[in-house]
Amino acid sequence: MITFQNVSKMYPNGTHALNHVNLNIDTGEFVFIVGSSGAGKSTFLKLIMCEERPSEGTIIIGDTVVTDLKRRQIPYLRRMMGIVFQDFRLIDNMNVYENVAFAMHVVGASNKEIRRKVPYFLSLVDLQDKAHCKPAELSGGEQQRVGLARALVNNPKLIIADEPTGNVDPALSFEIVDLLSEINRQGTTVLMVTHEHSLVKHFHRRIVEIHGGRVVADTGKVEVR
Amino acid sequence: MKLSSLGYLLKEGAKNIWSNRTMSFASVGVLVSCLLLTGAAVLFSMNIDSAMQSVEGSNTITVYCTQGLPTLKAVQVGEAIKDIDNISECELVPKDQAVEEMLEVLGDNGTVLEGLMGEDNFLPDSYRISMADLSLYDETVAQITSIEGVEKIIDYSEIADQLTELDDMVTTVCFWIILLLGVVSLFIIANTIRVALFSRRLEISIMKSVGATNWFVRVPFIVEGVIIGLVSGGLASLILNVAYDNFISSLSILSFFTPLPLDPYRLRIVLVFLLVGAGFGMLGGLISIGRYLKKDVGVLTTL
C-alpha cells in the first residue's frame, strides 16, 4: 500500500527531517507511528499526502509513484485517503451532518448519495442522534468521532490519523482506536501517529518508531486474530 | 464539474458575500463609483460629440455689422457679401429679429431683454451666410472682413475647438480617475475575497485534505467576486439611467442644447456595466485565490 524507498527530506532551512527511510506498509495493515516531537513523523505523513515532496528517494502509494505526480493529480491521490486530525478540524457553523456531508460535496457526490451515506457513517460512529448538533455542543470524543465519520465517508483505502487521541480523555482514546481497529478489520489500511504508549501497548499492532528522521524500530507486520 | 457541485459552489459563493458583508458593501460602493464615473464621462463625451456634429453640420457663419450702422449701409454690406463668389446663401438678420430669437431661446428667462426692442436695441444687424466651398474658407473670410461696415465674423469652428478641448480635458481627467478607481476597486474586491479566504481557511484545508481540486476551491470565491461585480454593475446602471433622465428633464428648458436621449443606449449601458462589473469581480477573485493557492494550503499544517 505504502512504499518508501530511500526517502530523504531536507527543508530549505537545512533541517534534515527524514533520512534515507525505507518502509513498506501492506494493504490492510494497522500501523502505529511513534517518536518524539521533531522526530520526523509529521514530515512522514506530509510526504504521503503530497503536501511535501521528498528531496530524494521514491514513494509509492497503491499503484501510484507519488514522486512522479503532477500538482494537478494530487487531489485525486488524496481521494483515496481519509484524514483524522488531532484538533478535529470541524467547521463550527456546520452541524454534525453538514460537516460529514461537506467532505462528500468536495468530491462531487450527488445529493442523493449524500443523503444515503452520511446517516450510515454517523450511525457507524454512534452519532446518529447528534446529527443536528453543532461541534461546540459535543464532547472531545464525540467531535473526534465526527472527524472519523468525515474521513470515512468517501470510502478511502487509507486512513491517516495524526494523533487522533491527543485532545480527548484517556478513556475515550481507547474508544477512538477501537473504532479505527473496526475500520481496519473491514480492510482499510490505518496509519496512526501517536505519543500514547498505553494505546500502543494495548492494541498490539505494528509499531514503527521514527527518531532523528530515521526508522529506528519496526516490529514488522502483526497478524491480528 | 457535476451539476450538483455547481449548485453547491454557487450557494457557497453567495454565502461568502453575506458572511463578509461589510467588505462586500465597501467593494460594491467603490465599484459603483468607478462605473458611474466611467458612464458619466462616456455620456459627457457623447453629448459633446453630438453638439459638435450639430454645430459643424450647420455650416453657418454670422457676420456682424458695426454697431449703429444705418440700415441702408447694412443693406450695402449684404450686397457686397453676396458679390463674393464663394457665398451660396446670405440672409439678413435685423437686430429686432436677433432679439426675438434670443427671447425664444431663453424662454421665461428672457424677460430682461423684453425692453430692448426698437431704439433701445443694442444688437447690431447681422448676416447669416453659407459658403459653397469650405476649402476656400480663409480667403472668403478675409474678403468679408475687408468690407466696410463689417465688425466681426463668428463661425462655429471656434466653438467646436473649445468643445473638443473640453472633451479632451474631461476624457483625460476621467481616464486617470477611472484608472485610479479601477485599481482601488480591484484592490478592495481582492481584499474582500482575501478576508473570505482567511475566514474559511479551515474549510479550504479540509477541502484539500479530502481531494478538492484547486478549481473546486476557487469557484465559490470567483462566484463571490462576480456577484459583487454584477450587483455593482446593476446598481451603477440604474443610478446612471435615473440621474441622466433627471439631467435631461432639468435641461429641457434650454432650447439651444438638446442632450442626447438615452433610450437607444439604455440596454447597452446595462449590459456593459454588468459585464465590466462581473469582469472586475472575477479578476479580483482570481488574483486573491491565485496567490493563496500558490502557497498550497497545508493539509496537516497547523492553521
Q: What is the pLDDT of residues A97-135, one digit of tens each?
A: 999 999 998 888 888 999 999 999 999 898 999 999 999
Q: What is the pLDDT of residues A149-171, one digit of tens each?
A: 999 999 999 999 998 888 888 88
* Position B3 confidence tier, pLDDT thresholds 50, 70, 90: low
Distance of alpha carbon A168 from alpha carbon A146, whole angstroms: 13
Distance of alpha carbon B211 from alpha carbon B231, whole angstroms: 33
* A102: nearest CB among B206, B298, B302: B206
Chain A hits for B219, CB-CB cut-off 8 Å, are none
Chain B hits for A109, CB-CB cut-off 8 Å, are 4
Mean pLDDT score across all residues of chain B: 81
In percent, the amount of chain B with pLDDT more than 90 equals 9
pLDDT of residue B292: 78
B213: distance to nearest CA of chain A, Å? 6
Q: What is the pTM of this model?
A: 0.68
Q: What is the pLDDT of residues B29-86, one digit of tens each?
A: 888 988 888 888 888 878 877 777 666 666 678 899 988 888 888 888 999 999 998 8
Distance of alpha carbon B241 from alpha carbon B238, whole angstroms: 5
A225: distance to nearest CA of chain B, Å? 32
pLDDT of residue B297: 58
pLDDT of residue B202: 84
Task: Residue window 241-300, chain B: list those with CB within 8 Å of chain A.
Answer: 296, 298-300
pLDDT of residue B152: 86
Judge contact between B284 and B225, C-beta under 8 A.
Answer: yes
B188: distance to nearest CA of chain A, Å? 26
Residue with cell 446529527: A131
pLDDT of residue A120: 93
* Position B2 confidence tier, pLDDT thresholds 50, 70, 90: low
Test A103 with B5 for CB contact under 8 angstroms: no
Domains of chain B: 3-55+160-294 (no CATH), 61-155 (3.30.70.3040)
Of residues B9 and A97, more confidently modeled: A97
Strand order in the sheet with A2-10: A16-25, A2-10, A56-61, A64-65
ipTM, two decimals = 0.84
Q: Is the pLDDT of residue B140 over 70?
A: yes
Chain A positions contacting chain B at CB under 8 Å are: 42, 45-46, 49, 51, 72, 75-79, 81-83, 85, 87, 89, 91, 102-103, 105-111, 150, 154, 162
A121 Cβ neighbours under 8 A, 6+ residues apart: A100, A149, A152, A153
